[in-house]
């Protein structure tokens, strides 16, 4: 019987095998599997693989996909490292940190359709939304079958569906104050305030200035958050925002 490490590596390699079938390959630096589409980048990734503590000799898996729109991300890429928790210089080499700075974050994210998976593969999805498979040769083959379906029939079509600044603007900038559902697709954990105004300006959204003013209104909360250990980078948000705003105002 495989130990946890060997089982994890087996599952990871099976996912990589299926990703390769659709043109996704391991990048030189960073996680997941990527594929160029024009100037932009599609990527496949997954949550932590659950291989221990799962009942009935099964493992759990949850894939997702992202798109990096270079027109959006390149506009503020030099400022991006100021808005995230950077690797600690005590634990990482200078080379690793420099490569980390070069990474481009995703612009938007898409997920699998659990209802369709439940209809087609009812034995392979839990109520939590996690996929589950037997730890056996048959289970591994079923894993590849389900992954092929999800990648080809769900994730890639969803990536294509939203691959447009105009479409993204209609989702995240159709009103000033967004609901959680409005924010769902955009990468909100790594720079939503900046990404949102860049998209608005690029699409000539008439709400651009209102969105900017609204964003500024919660900077006091952001600065308060920056006082928490590990959240110090939030103190840079007002500066980065005004720098992005200045650049956008210079666009005709």
Pairing assessment for the beta strands 33-37 and 63-68 based on DSSP bridges = unpaired
Query: Rounded to whole angstroms, how far apart are CA atoms 25 and 43?
Result: 9
Burial class from Cβ neighbours inside 10 Å (0-12, 13-18, 19+) for residue 249 reads: exposed
- Give pLDDT tens digits along the chain (252 positions): 567 888 889 999 999 999 999 999 999 888 899 999 999 999 999 987 877 656 678 899 999 999 999 999 999 999 999 998 888 888 888 888 888 888 999 999 999 999 999 999 999 999 999 999 999 999 999 999 999 999 999 999 999 999 999 999 999 999 999 888 888 888 666 788 999 999 999 999 999 999 999 999 999 999 999 999 989 999 999 999 999 999 999 987
Beta bridge partners of 63: 46
pLDDT tens digits for 107-142? 999 999 999 999 999 999 999 999 999 999 999 999
pLDDT tens digits for 225-238? 999 998 999 999 99
Please, what is the angle between helix 237-249 and helix 208-217, to 10°?
Answer: 170
Distance of CA 175 to the CA centre of its chain: 23
pTM for the full model?
A: 0.91
pLDDT of residue 194: 95
Phi-psi region of 191 (alpha: psi -120 to 50; beta: other; left: phi over 0): left
Query: Rounded to whole angstroms, how far apart are CA atoms 44 and 40?
Result: 14
Query: Rounded to whole angstroms, how far apart are CA atoms 140 and 146?
Result: 10
- Asked if residues 196 and 76 have their Cβ atoms less than 8 Å apart, the reply is no
- Asked if residues 110 and 64 have their Cβ atoms less than 8 Å apart, the reply is yes
Give me the helices (H) in the chain, please: 4-21, 70-73, 94-102, 114-120, 137-149, 156-161, 165-172, 180-183, 192-202, 208-217, 219-225, 237-249
Beta bridge partners of 50: 60
% of residues, the chain, pLDDT over 70: 96
């Amino acid at each position: 019987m495989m130990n946890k490490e060997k089982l994890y590596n087996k599952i990871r390699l099976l996912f990589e095998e299926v990703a390769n079938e659709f043109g996704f390959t391991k990048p030189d630096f960073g996680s997941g599997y990527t594929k160029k589409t024009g100037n932009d980048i599609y990527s496949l990734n997954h949550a932590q693989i659950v291989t221990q503590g799962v009942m009935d000799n099964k493992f759990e898996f949850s894939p997702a996909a992202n798109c990096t729109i270079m027109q959006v991300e390149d506009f503020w890429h030099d400022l991006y490292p100021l808005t995230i928790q950077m690797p600690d210089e005590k634990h990482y080499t200078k080379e690793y940190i420099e490569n980390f700075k070069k990474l481009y974050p995703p612009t938007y994210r898409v997920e699998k359709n659990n209802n369709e998976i439940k209809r087609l593969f009812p034995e392979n999805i839990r109520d939590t939304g996690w996929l589950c498979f037997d730890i056996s040769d048959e289970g591994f083959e079923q894993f590849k079958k389900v992954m092929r379906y999800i990648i080809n029939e769900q994730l890639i079509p969803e990536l294509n569906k939203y691959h447009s600044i105009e479409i993204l603007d209609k989702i995240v900038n159709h009103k000033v104050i967004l609901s959680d559902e409005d924010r769902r697709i955009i990468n909100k954990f790594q720079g939503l305030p900046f990404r949102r105004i860049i998209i608005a300006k690029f699409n000539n959204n008439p709400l651009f200035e209102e969105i900017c003013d609204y964003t500024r209104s919660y900077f006091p909360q952001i600065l308060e958050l920056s006082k928490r250990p590990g959240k110090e980078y939030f103190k840079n948000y007002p500066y980065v925002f005004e720098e992005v705003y200045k650049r956008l105002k210079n666009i005709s």
